[in-house]
Amino acid sequence: MNDSASTALGYHRATSYQRYQISPHALDWANQPSLVKNYPGLPRVPLPRDLDLPRIDYFTRACRPGSESHTSDVAPDLKQIAAALQLSHGVTARAVHSGQPFYYRSVASAGALYPFELYLTAHGIDGLDAGLYYYDPLAFSLTVLRRQPLPAIPRVDRAVAATFYVTGIFFRSAWKYRGRAYRYVVLDAGHLLENLRLALGALNQRFSIHLDFDDEQTANLLGLDSELEVCLACIHLHIDTDKGTDTANSIELEPLSADIRQASQVSGREVAYPEILNIHRAGSGSGGGGSAEASSLMVATHGNPLARIDLDSSTLPIAADYTQVLGRRRSRRNFIPASVSRENFMTFVETMAQSMGSRSGMPAACRSALTAGILAGENMPLPPGFYLLDPEKRQLEQRIAGSLIEAMAAACLDQMWLKHAGLHLLFLTDLTYLDEIWGARGYRYAMIEAGSLGQQAYLAATALGWGACGIGAIYDREAADLLGLTESGALVYLVGLGPVKTSAGKTR
């Protein structure tokens, strides 16, 4: 692997799909990765199940400002932590597929491989000792990894009651997607991060999101084998300073045992793909994530806008219970060519715009690293074409006229069911820009932001009664050329959306 694959541009090109040039790959079912980590012999803390989940409107929650607007004078207790975990990464249904149990979850994942994990450090939680815990969503319990006062990583100037850490396990996705899997691991971390952000806001917790931290220090804290599993995001829960506990980084941390680190291995036979390790290690230094603010439409396309359409300023008309939306979220692809009302279309676009740019609760680097676009099909309440979404001006800029839906379905590895979707939500970046501003860590910012917004799209679609299905399998350059992107422009993620056929034969 040459050094060029240690950049965002180099890795993305090295793992790009090209038509007629994808090498065959059979799944090794005998070594399918486990869906949860195993820590034999370590004590567990069962989480309470009699939870008071918030009864709020999804669109009201989704369109509230970012994390800093939430205030809480009281440290969270164990029931609030359990509610946050259930909402962000809970089991919503169980089924049996091919004789094996399958667990539907509140969070989307490429290929239902769930490469992410959640850990919790407790500094001041009523009902939970100070320490480090691993969250098992299937058993709905916390495994005790450390029982001691711990530092808050990354260090902040405000009191921290607890920290959630989102990690990614490479082989869970690489088992299917090989060297391309880093894309999906980081995208899926963004899915989980968005669910957690929404959950903490719904529970009126004050929090801050961090993507820049010392990777080695964080791996040591969590007991990870950093060749196999890495930390990708942290969320601190804050309380008033005079109610906080000492979380200074001066606390010395002993490495956890080899048995604990070995839990990062989730299959009896794993393959290490150098492309994945290369790009992650190259981005291990902090990218200085808050320093650059790019234009919200930083992805260069050829030509000028053909037209501009203002988003409707009317209040959101749909009512949908937030917890029920999470429980109903699924990946659905049985799209049908049915018309969509202007009201529903604008509700969806407005919800996405409220999650982007200056209104976003994500770190500034994420907001600067990505641009969202829309391919509108024939049944949308605006002319078919390719549009960029400008969240600051609250406008859609038409860049290409005419429906590209079927051509994009072909560019998505000929998954032609996508041509029936009413619209395609596109997440675009400029890979050279990422490298120039943040180095290789910029790839994380762009992909985490794409996953975060993708999760929001899943939930908004569910609330509207639509189907949604995320796509990362793309003939990369073919899709970029279709959209008229420059040489370093890339489509990194696509979500197909629109009316679907229900089991009763009705449309939604």
Tokens at residue 369, please?
């690293």
Provide the mean pLDDT of the chain: 91
The whole-number average pLDDT for the span 131-150 is 97
Q: Is the predicted pLDDT of residue 300 greater than 70, yes or no?
A: no
Residue 364 DSSP SS3: helix
For residue 424, what is the domain's CATH number? 3.40.109.10
Look at residue 206 and tell me if it is in a domain: yes
Residue 396 DSSP SS3: strand
Q: How confident is the model at residue 367 (pLDDT cuts 50, 70, 90)?
A: confident
Domain co-membership, 354 together with 480: yes
Domain co-membership, 443 together with 346: yes
Residues 6+ positions from 54 with CB-CB distance below 8 Å: 61, 83, 202, 203, 322, 323
Per residue in 385-405, pLDDT tens? 999 999 999 999 999 999 999
Residue 69 is predicted with a pLDDT of 46
- Across 66-70, 192-196, 341-345, 490-494, least confident range: 66-70
Look at residue 292 and tell me if it is in a domain: no
The whole-number average pLDDT for the span 372-382 is 95
Residue 273 is predicted with a pLDDT of 96
Q: How far apart are CA 464 and CA 395, in angstroms?
A: 21
Report residue 168: phi and psi, to 5°: -130, 135
Report residue 235: phi and psi, to 5°: -130, 120
Report residue 397: phi and psi, to 5°: -100, 115
How many Cα neighbours within 13 Å face the side chain of 505? 0
Tokens at residue 328, please?
């109903």
- Across 208-222, 359-373, 414-428, least confident range: 359-373
Domain co-membership, 311 together with 249: no
Q: Is the predicted pLDDT of residue 443 greater than 80, yes or no?
A: yes
Domain co-membership, 400 together with 471: yes
Look at residue 18 and tell me if it is in a domain: no
Residue 502 is predicted with a pLDDT of 79
Closest CA to 179 of 278, 281, 34: 278
Domain co-membership, 39 together with 114: yes
- Across 45-49, 190-194, 295-299, least confident range: 295-299
Dihedral-angle region of residue 333 (phi above 0 means left; psi in -120 to 50 means alpha; beta otherwise):
alpha
More confident call, 61 vs 107: 107
Q: How far apart are CA 491 and CA 483, in angstroms?
A: 9
Q: How confident is the model at residue 73 (pLDDT cuts 50, 70, 90)?
A: low
Dihedral-angle region of residue 456 (phi above 0 means left; psi in -120 to 50 means alpha; beta otherwise):
alpha
Domain co-membership, 220 together with 329: no
Residue 316 is predicted with a pLDDT of 62
Tokens at residue 101, please?
């149990």
Q: How far apart are CA 62 and CA 53, in angstroms?
A: 16
CA angle 400, 405, 408 (to 5 degrees): 90
Domain co-membership, 327 together with 262: no
Domain co-membership, 317 together with 207: no
In Å, the largest CA–CA distance within the chain is 64
Per residue in 17-45, pLDDT tens? 999 999 888 999 999 999 999 999 999 99
CA angle 221, 152, 364 (to 5 degrees): 105
Terminal C-alpha separation, the chain: 48
CA angle 277, 278, 279 (to 5 degrees): 95
Domain co-membership, 278 together with 314: no
Domain co-membership, 340 together with 446: yes
How many Cα neighbours within 13 Å face the side chain of 480? 22
Report residue 182: phi and psi, to 5°: -60, -35
Look at residue 399 and tell me if it is in a domain: yes
Q: How confident is the model at residue 159 (pLDDT cuts 50, 70, 90)?
A: very high
Q: How many domains in the chain?
A: 2
Please give the C-alpha separations between residue 10 and each of 1, 130, 178, 469, in angstroms, as whole numbers.
10, 43, 16, 28
Residue 5 is predicted with a pLDDT of 81
Residue 242 is predicted with a pLDDT of 55
Look at residue 327 and tell me if it is in a domain: yes
- Across 65-74, 185-194, 364-373, 445-454, least confident range: 65-74
Q: How confident is the model at residue 357 (pLDDT cuts 50, 70, 90)?
A: confident
Report residue 75: phi and psi, to 5°: -65, 145
- Paired with 143 in beta bridges are 44, 134
Residue 1 is predicted with a pLDDT of 41
| % of the chain surpassing 70 pLDDT | 89
Look at residue 179 and tell me if it is in a domain: yes
Q: Which of 247, 282, 317 is the last residue of a domain?
A: 282
Q: How confident is the model at residue 312 (pLDDT cuts 50, 70, 90)?
A: confident
Q: Is the predicted pLDDT of residue 432 greater than 80, yes or no?
A: yes
The whole-number average pLDDT for the span 317-328 is 90
Q: Is the predicted pLDDT of residue 422 greater than 70, yes or no?
A: yes
Look at residue 65 and tell me if it is in a domain: yes
Q: Following DSSP, what letter does each residue of 29-70 receive, concatenated?
A: GGGPPPSS---TT--EEEPP--------BHHHHHTS--GGG-
Per residue in 248-279, pLDDT tens? 556 789 999 999 999 999 999 999 999 999 99
Residue 230 DSSP SS3: strand
Q: Is the Cβ–Cβ distance between 138 and 75 less than 8 Å?
A: no
Residue 458: domain span: 307-498
Domain co-membership, 119 together with 180: yes
Q: Is the predicted pLDDT of residue 505 greater than 90, yes or no?
A: no
Q: How many CB atoms lie within 10 A of CB 176?
A: 18
* pTM > 0.85: yes or no: yes
Report residue 240: phi and psi, to 5°: -55, 145
Look at residue 209 and tell me if it is in a domain: yes
Report residue 186: phi and psi, to 5°: -75, -40
Q: Is the predicted pLDDT of residue 243 greater than 60, yes or no?
A: no
Q: Is the Cβ–Cβ distance between 123 and 130 less than 8 Å?
A: yes
Q: Is the predicted pLDDT of residue 296 greater than 70, yes or no?
A: no
The whole-number average pLDDT for the span 88-115 is 93
Residue 319 is predicted with a pLDDT of 85
Q: Is the predicted pLDDT of residue 67 greater than 60, yes or no?
A: no
Residue 123 is predicted with a pLDDT of 95
Domain co-membership, 60 together with 142: yes
